[in-house]
Structure 1
Amino acid sequence: MSFAESSPVMSMDDVMAATNEFEARGFNHSYYLPLHMAILKGDWESAKSFLDADPSAWTSKITSLARTPLHVAAVGAQWKILEKLVHHVPSELLAELDSMGFTCLHYVAMGESIDAAKALLAKNHSLTQITDFKGFTPLLYSVTSTRCKEMAWYLAMNTVDERPGFPFSSESSRQLVALLTAAGFHGKENFWLNADITMYLLQRYPNLATISDSNGSIILNVLSKKTSDFQSGNKFGILHRCIYHCVPAQLDHLPHGDLRDSYDQSSHHQSYSGSKIWNAIQTSAPSIKHLRDVKLRQVFSERLVEHVCSQASTMSNTQFWESFVSMDIIYNATSSGIVEILRICFQFFPDLVWTRIPNEGYIAQIAIKYRQEKVFGFICKMPIISKILILALDESHNTTSHLAARSAHSQLLSVSGAAFKMQKELQWFKKVEQLDHPIHKEIKNQDGKTAWQLFKEEHKNLLEESEKWMKDTANSCSIVAALIVTTVFTAVLTVPGGNNQEKGFPIFLPDNTFLVFAASVTLALFSSMASLLMFLSILTARYAEKDFLKALPRRLIWGLALLFYAIVTTMVAFAAALSLVLRNRLKWVWIPIAIMACVPMALFAKLQIPLFGGMIISTYRSSIYHP
């Protein structure tokens, strides 16, 4: 549930109806307009003159939305005027709701003036417990707007479960928990603020952790749909993974000033000694700050799941926690690949591992169906349980091998090249088939197909696309390889400087630079010829399904590696030859030649190495889990 999905703002029809009703009771808009405009402009002198002339205006509704002068000042962010108005009105006026359903503190909560909030609470300390028409407190508005961290902390520590709204025990607490949990992870700057406030409130009011509805635990339900808030839901490159593991993950942010002193630091995470250093690094490197924010969010998410499950496990009612961690939560976490939720839930409630989702099967079958390798690997770490779950059949008599045989196009969007999508599908199928019982290879489902027959049928189109992609790639690369062969072969026959007319030896033969040229040309010729042969072998392959598992990807990898080597040695040979010809006139000519020769090599590397690296990882270091 998001804040927008449960918007507290009234519909336009309701607002218009309330406005019309208010005006029908004799509201004179034009009379109060000067006061309204003076407050919005921050003109205290004009507003004070109007109020002195008509003392009833201090407590009157002065807009068509039934807003008092206090409301108008809060909506217009005129905090100084609001503080002055507070001293001239009775305390009960501060609890007045406008046609939108808000008190003036609701508006102040979305701003940045703690002094205004303090002035209101000093006059009427129960304002934090007053809810709007949808049951939302000012605290919730402050947290979801993330405009001012001090404001959110101030309201969190001054909102109690008392009259008139009982925000932490009434029916509205369900919405509060859902929106607070969802909002606790929004934003790049202040998500940790909401994270800490969420944990602070859960520790202060333990009942919030175990609030559930028809879908089970509200907190777990929200978290099970937020894949990016867990480490298992993120895929980083090698460099980002290294940075991710190095950055600290302590939630060390505290409220500042007098708020810090009033906060119970015994329940807060201790700050780390190098915080100033990391703050300096984050300021100079935004990418590192982003990774740290991601890590903090993920650490908090995991701690929140542990806290919720810990609170639920203390409940003596077995039926409660069975419905608390519902099938929907298990299904969402499994199909989304959130291993952390499953691991913690199974730690506190071991029997949940046997959860069977109607029309989906056990968690092992769901993980296979949705290609969630990390979840599948987690299950395989439980050897006995995994064997039982993998051997299970679904309602259509499909084995786990049948499920792995089905095509999963949506899970292959991040894989480059149709051939490597086919390879990924084969790797997944072979790994599941290896763990499945051997007799299941021959079992037919209700459609009369074995797992391998189903695989071939499901991937018929992908096989055709893979063959076309592989041939197109091999054709393009073979043209480049043939061009290099022609170029370097010609260079051998027409060496720079020419040959000695009497003996036929190259004139620059004694020169070391010429030896570099000769060696580079030789290596370029041999590597380009080998590359050409590798690409020709791809073009003449039979293109069966199993060829895409190892044979064809290996040929393509070796062909590209040899082609890149041929390009490098060709450029070295060119630079050496040009240096031999021009150095007698310009001795420093080799410097710009070397720099320019690096340009095509760097360009080729930048454009092709990511794909090339992905090919190597996919072929030689499969990400499929190996138990």
Structure 2
Amino acid sequence: MASAELSQLMSFDHLKAAVTEFARGFNHSYYQPLHLAILKGDWESTKAFLDNDPSALTAKVTILRRTALHVAAVGSQWKIVEKLTQHMPPNMLTELDLIGCTCLHYVAMGENIDAAKALVAKNTSLTQVTDFKGFTPLIYSITSTICKEMVWYLVLNTTDDSPACPFSGPSATQLVGLLTAAGFHDITMYILQRYPNLATVSDSNGSIILNVLSTLPSHFQSGHNFGFWKRFIYHCVPVELEYGNIIWNSLQTLVPSIKLVRDAKGRHVSAVRLVEFVCSQASAKNDCQFWQSFVSADIIFNATSSGIVEILRIGFQFFPDLVWTHIPNEGYVTQTAVKNRQEKVFSLLCKMPTNCKMQVLALDESNNATSHLVARFASQVESIPGSAFQMQRELQWFKEVEKLDHPLHKEVKNQDGKTPWQVFKEEHKALLEEGKNWMKDTSNSCMLVATLIATIAFAAAITVPGGNNQDKGIPIFLSDTTFMVFAVSDALALFSSMTSLLMFLAILNARFAEEDFVMALPEKLIIGLAFLFLAIVTTMVAFGAALSMLLKERLKWAPIPIALLACVPILLFAKLQLPLLIEMIISTYGSRFSHLT
């Protein structure tokens, strides 16, 4: 890529020789005060030196043959760059230093648009001047700080004129590749619409643009795993915000994460448009051999293994036969998706009009059926709370893909003499043990809480607030409505905690076989946690009701702070355990893999 070439504009030996040659007649001590003043941003000292020696304005003041303007640009002294530009002759702005750069090359690597505007206003041809490798300042703006505003400015002010020809010459390939890698897909689209031939530039690895995009899953929606709230914002926020849209503009100012989500959505939308445009330009060539090499097996493999559904979906729409791409040492696309645990890609293939059943039925070089491949443990499994639910997810994935495979393949042995289920058990032995320990540790912890609640609830039931009538043994507050709240809540707390206790006890006594992690164990844990949460809530309600009965005669306002304080442990438990409970319910009863069958 161009970034590697930019760091080697001139070989070290040639640069050393040029510096040595220039240094022979260079008066370093004379220009040193000017050099240091510029680097410090000291305009007063700089101006005083130039007033004393006006020739220093255009002279080479460093051993790298840099002018004062070069020094200011290299040192990021943007105000001095603007002031020196006002006095510098226009033709001097195109001077190259021994590295091979103009002052605009260095300014392009920064983020100060005003400095770039001042230079271009002084000499409009400055954007066309290339370094020793033929790279314009536009290329430099993409390979450095990556200031999108700077890139946009240089794109709009750079033409394809000779001798640079940045959009049709040798550097055009690097330009397209760097823009794509930087994620400036809207800028890339702007250029491609004006120079469509750039859409089909390729090398030995196929399309430059598709090759780069296929390694960047975060540039697509399928490569992002947002949380619940960010997913909600993602679907609501518009990509383009109009100036009149006060609500969204205000919200993203107050909540920076909204702007981050909107920027990500904008990048995703632009990336999809870019892929569509590139594929449409390639298909327009109507050359089978061209697009077969244009969308290479490497691109298909990268997109499949990274889970970039958008590239595959668009590629298959324009070139349906790509679905039958056979990737060396990996197999067909379906097998590659299974190997790399890419459920979204596998789902896409299952929904396609082209029947991928033949790919699922195919055996690889090691006599592995698709069921063997899905049985392997994937290290890149998405983050799931708890080893037990990672085991559940693995089993669900295995069983759903197994349904699509031929029934006879369940007993087919690979070259190691193992069936798919044997491979699964061996590959997931460590995860099974981790899941077993996680289930036991969680159950033991929750059992302790459930036991304490049951003990408290039982004790409260036989020693009711206010005591009992000595003659009849009836609670004194029996006619009080608050007492009924206490009684019902205490009873619910006792029953809920006992139910929870029994569920956790059942988990501890389970056999912990692989199949138990699909439904049996998760169901018990879900029921146990749900009833434990109910027990905590009803315990707090019972406590609040009891305390209110005892204090309401003297402190009529007491029920309000009591109720508020009782909410604290409930909210804490909800924050700490409710997300886990929701994840478990979704994982156990959700239709995560239903689209595969």
Same fold (TM over 0.5): yes
Question: Counterpart amino acid of 2:190?
Answer: Y
Once superposed, what is the RMSD of the aligned Cα atoms?
2.3
Question: Counterpart amino acid of 1:324?
Answer: F
Q: How far apart are 1:238 and its partner, in Å? A: 3.1
TM-score, structure 2 length as denominator?
Answer: 0.93
Q: How far apart are 1:149 and its partner, in Å? A: 5.7
Give the direction of change, closer, same or farther, for the CA distance of 1:310–1:51 in structure 2 (3 Å limit): farther
Give the direction of change, closer, same or farther, for the CA distance of 1:135–1:616 in structure 2 (3 Å limit): farther
Report matched runs for 1:432-511 at 5 Å.
432-511=401-480
Report matched runs for 1:83-162 at 5 Å.
83-87=85-89, 91=91, 93-111=92-110, 116-117=115-116, 120-121=119-120, 124-144=123-143, 151-162=150-161
Q: 1:239 aligns with which of 216, 229, 232?
A: 229
- Per-residue CA deviations over 1:273-327 (Å, capped at 9, x if unaligned) read 8544422222122222221111101000100111111111122332221111111
Structure 2 distance, partners of 1:622, 1:160, is 53
Structure 1 distance, partners of 2:506, 2:57, is 90
Q: How far apart are 1:10 and its partner, in Å? A: 5.6
- Matched with 1:229 is 219
Structure 1 distance, partners of 2:583, 2:542, is 30
Question: Counterpart amino acid of 1:604?
Answer: F
Structure 2 distance, partners of 1:442, 1:147, is 55
- Per-residue CA deviations over 1:47-95 (Å, capped at 9, x if unaligned) read 432433xx4x4443210221023322433321333223333x6x2x333
Give the direction of change, closer, same or farther, for the CA distance of 1:619–1:209 in structure 2 (3 Å limit): same
Structure 2 distance, partners of 1:167, 1:113, is 22
Matched-pair contact (CA < 8 Å) for 2:23–2:63: no
Structure 2: which 5+ residue stretches go unaligned?
none
Q: Is 2:544 aligned against 1:591? A: no
Structure 1 distance, partners of 2:194, 2:439, is 61
Structure 2 distance, partners of 1:65, 1:131, is 18
- Matched with 2:482 is 513
Q: 2:519 aligns with which of 550, 553, 556?
A: 550
TM-score, structure 1 length as denominator?
Answer: 0.89
- Per-residue CA deviations over 1:443-490 (Å, capped at 9, x if unaligned) read 111111111111111111111111111111111111211111111111
Structure 1 distance, partners of 2:244, 2:346, is 38
- Matched with 1:170 is 169
Structure 2 distance, partners of 1:555, 1:39, is 73
Report matched runs for 1:135-284 at 5 Å.
135-144=134-143, 151-183=150-182, 185=183, 194-250=184-240, 275-284=245-254
Question: Counterpart amino acid of 2:98?
Answer: S
Structure 2 distance, partners of 1:15, 1:486, is 86
- Per-residue CA deviations over 1:116-143 (Å, capped at 9, x if unaligned) read 5455445654332222244431112334
Q: How far apart are 1:432 and its partner, in Å? A: 0.4
Question: Counterpart amino acid of 1:519?
Answer: V
Structure 2 distance, partners of 1:572, 1:317, is 74
- Matched with 1:430 is 399
Structure 2 distance, partners of 1:602, 1:182, is 44
Structure 2 distance, partners of 1:305, 1:581, is 71
| SS of residue matched to 2:234 | helix
Matched-pair contact (CA < 8 Å) for 1:126–1:163: no
Comparing 238-247 with 9-18, greater Cα deviation is found at 9-18
- Matched with 1:261 is none
Structure 1 distance, partners of 2:353, 2:162, is 54
Structure 1: which 5+ residue stretches go unaligned?
186-193, 253-271
| SS of residue matched to 1:472 | helix
Q: Is 2:516 aligned against 1:526? A: no
- Per-residue CA deviations over 1:530-566 (Å, capped at 9, x if unaligned) read 1111111111111111011100000000011011101
Q: Is 2:369 aligned against 1:379? A: no
Q: How far apart are 1:163 and its partner, in Å? A: 2.3
- Per-residue CA deviations over 1:139-197 (Å, capped at 9, x if unaligned) read 123345567666433321231222222222232222111111112x2xxxxxxxx4332
Structure 1 distance, partners of 2:425, 2:148, is 57
Q: 1:610 aligns with which of 538, 555, 579?
A: 579
Comparing 60-69 with 526-535, greater Cα deviation is found at 60-69
Comparing 159-168 with 18-27, greater Cα deviation is found at 18-27
Give the direction of change, closer, same or farther, for the CA distance of 1:547–1:23 in structure 2 (3 Å limit): same
Structure 1 distance, partners of 2:396, 2:146, is 48
Structure 1 distance, partners of 2:58, 2:264, is 48
- Matched with 2:27 is 28
Comparing 423-432 with 210-219, greater Cα deviation is found at 210-219
Matched-pair contact (CA < 8 Å) for 1:19–1:64: no
Structure 2 distance, partners of 1:116, 1:368, is 52
Give the direction of change, closer, same or farther, for the CA distance of 1:18–1:118 in structure 2 (3 Å limit): farther
- Matched with 1:64 is 63
Structure 2 distance, partners of 1:491, 1:5, is 75
Q: Is 2:566 aligned against 1:576? A: no
Give the direction of change, closer, same or farther, for the CA distance of 1:50–1:152 in structure 2 (3 Å limit): farther
Q: 1:535 aligns with which of 479, 485, 504?
A: 504
Question: Counterpart amino acid of 2:287?
Answer: N
